[in-house]
């Protein structure tokens, strides 16, 4: 992810925040993909 390079220059606490944000983004992307699938099934 794009944030990985930026996090290399940060302190450990900041890197933890970056990792948390990345995890939350991935969770939201999975949720969106699931909802898109459910919506497509309903629309058919």
Domain limits at 16?
A: 12-43
5 part of a folded domain: no
6 part of a folded domain: no
**pLDDT attached to residue 37:** 97
**pLDDT attached to residue 3:** 62
**pLDDT attached to residue 44:** 85
**pLDDT attached to residue 38:** 97
Tokens for 43, please give them: 């629309």
- Number of structural domains (the chain) is 1
3-state secondary structure of 6: helix
- Tens of pLDDT along the chain (44 residues) come to 556 666 567 788 898 999 999 999 999 999 999 999 999 999 98
Q: How far apart are CA 44 and CA 30, in angstroms?
A: 21
Whose tokens are 């925040």? That residue is 17
Helices (H) and strands (E) in the chain, counts: 2, 0
């Amino acid at each position: 992810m794009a944030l990985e390079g930026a996090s290399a220059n940060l302190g450990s606490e900041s890197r933890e925040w970056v990792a948390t944000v990345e995890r939350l983004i991935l969770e939201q992307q999975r949720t969106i993909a699931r909802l898109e699938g459910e919506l497509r099934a309903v629309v058919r």
